[in-house]
Structure 1
């Protein structure tokens, strides 16, 4: 990556007294039997009315340490004053945006963004990677992730920010993948002043197909599945049962290399069960967001489109009636993890061209 960097800065950001709405759950995951029963309840065809796992509203307040990295290009132009803030999805960490295996440069949106002149910030969401592993039932839920993203963005935009390597950041553009796209969309709804545009992948805004994801993952308690790797985690952190269950969601043949899927599995970060349980429980309204919105989809995305995005994304457009402009692409030959499929550099070119034309 050295060819594109003037500097990179890896650090831990202390966030203190962060508060958000939360939910009391009706279940607790302690054993593999518990997560199996939860999977059945969430995947059944009548789950929306028969089981939602929510006992009622609550509030969470906490102190969190967030592992992050800021990168700036070797030639500082006006574009470097725009920071692309990237939020990853479930089961991943910040390396999704910048793969660490040999040859991973072609799958790195960060590399492409730096080459285009932008600064980049990416981070491990709460409960993942090297960030705080808070309680996976009561704390690591959807609303707190939105508040954390808002807090991080404010820090980047602050005058003389200690987190931007003396680069004066004038604006932020937010990229999300999968669960990170829902967080990004919620940020745009709640705090539109913090972002100049958003780009979403692994996203349709439609929840109709999440039972396909949950059933196919066959999640297990991570600490019990592999104690050497994840024994330090609380039992509410869960993970797909094996590499093939993971690939079932993330990839689509013949548009990827198996070695890339193997790498993704090797850096897997278990997700907090509270995250999926609370997604969609606190509605957010995107209908008034009037800035640029891009949705760039793998055509064969299971959780977003049920395995075929043809026609589905017409409904996505209805969620963003005032976006200016709204650009939706659903034909890229890939599954859920767009960045990790063949020709990812072409996808990055489209994403970054959208930013360049609209910021």
Structure 2
């Protein structure tokens, strides 16, 4: 894995402090310097709606694995990136805040949409709020290319390997003595949560840098790529800047997004287990994804078979991209990816689609996720 030189300057940019009855948060921008990772030259370029339509056909066809190669060569990316992030910690200090839950979101989201929804009544869908009430600190961030983080080139820079290196860099900063990013909390351990694409990033971190994490919890994930063509075909992605110029006109053409709310719902949700108003809010804050992210997922083989720490996979039973719409028996293959995890907890029966956190009864899912942390990362 490529090495990283990080933070020639650690000055925190102007921060926003917010408080709630149970916790206090600080928002800031983390300037990462000279982040280095393998990268790939793509065999295609997205400029028009015709281009993204052709790419969809090529990736969704049943023989795409042999008929279409999105990679034309290899290279290396080195760059400086500003990462928008937020750290929250319980207002009543105990030893638990020394464990930080590091949350990485998936495609089409940002740091708040999936982990801490901001609409009226969104608290019941917030894993962040459940975690701080349970006594943990939480760090969540906008991945490169999303939210308020740097919008780098969506073809050549915003790819899977650089996202892994950025997560590793951020984790090192949180674990550093006297870190500027932890609100004076002396963080001693990190547990990594991922959703969807963020789960693949988290799994790759566990493989490449196991020393940086105490345990991982994955959702929207099976580790099986068999059903990604179902995602790609149904999402019907469009060039974001062309689809909605008023909203995304400043983005480069390689940033794409589902064609409408129903295509988005197709991937994210399963009736009757969600409220339509939640979907409407989610689509209103949609963050386009970089085409390079999907094109490079799986191009570097991260070996998870030697990871020996706790692993949790918590799945909505009807997840399309992870399980083809039915996780029954599919997660048997997931278990084979983590043979030495201790323990390995896999649950695939929660009544939800892909976005577990945004369905009814999400509080029950949060209880299981946080119980996994409590049992496997004891109070230090």
Match of 2:331 among 313, 317, 336: 313
Aligned to 2:36: 19
Q: Does 1:62 align with 2:79?
A: yes
1-structure distance, mates of 2:158, 2:212: 23
Shift of 1:142: 0.1
Shift of 1:3: 1.8
Aligned to 1:143: 161
- Give the unaligned 5+ runs of structure 1: none
Report if the CA contact (8 A) 1:199-1:296 is conserved: yes
What TM-score comes out, normalization by structure 2 length?
A: 0.94
2-structure distance, mates of 1:318, 1:79: 32
* Structure 1 residues 106-152: Cα deviation after superposition (integer angstroms, max 9, x where no partner): 00000000010000000000000000000000000000000000000
* Structure 1 residues 316-340: Cα deviation after superposition (integer angstroms, max 9, x where no partner): 0000000000000000000000000
* Structure 1 residues 220-239: Cα deviation after superposition (integer angstroms, max 9, x where no partner): 00000000000000000000
Relative to structure 2, which stretch is displaced further, 327-336 or 43-52? 43-52
Aligned to 1:333: 351
Aligned to 1:282: 300
Shift of 1:287: 0.2
Match of 1:343 among 358, 361, 364: 361
Shift of 1:52: 2.3
Aligned to 2:185: 167
Match of 1:124 among 130, 142, 158: 142
Aligned to 1:246: 264
What TM-score comes out, normalization by structure 1 length?
A: 0.99
Report if the CA contact (8 A) 1:8-1:70 is conserved: yes
- Give the unaligned 5+ runs of structure 2: 1-18
- Secondary structure at 1:94 match in 2: coil
1-structure distance, mates of 2:89, 2:243: 39
Aligned to 1:46: 63
Aligned to 1:72: 89
Matched positions, count: 358
Report if the CA contact (8 A) 1:125-1:145 is conserved: yes
* Structure 1 residues 254-273: Cα deviation after superposition (integer angstroms, max 9, x where no partner): 00000000011011000000
Aligned to 2:310: 292
> RMSD value over aligned CA atoms?
0.5
1-structure distance, mates of 2:266, 2:376: 35
1-structure distance, mates of 2:326, 2:142: 29
1-structure distance, mates of 2:255, 2:69: 19
- Secondary structure at 2:21 match in 1: helix
Write the mapping of 1:140-289 to structure 2, written as runs, cut at 5 A: 140-289=158-307
- Secondary structure at 1:214 match in 2: helix
1-structure distance, mates of 2:167, 2:142: 11
2-structure distance, mates of 1:58, 1:210: 25
- Secondary structure at 1:121 match in 2: strand
Shift of 1:74: 1.2
Runs of 4+ in 1 over 4 A off after TM superposition: none
- Secondary structure at 1:41 match in 2: helix
Q: Does 1:322 align with 2:348?
A: no
Match of 1:111 among 129, 132, 135: 129
Q: Does 1:100 align with 2:118?
A: yes
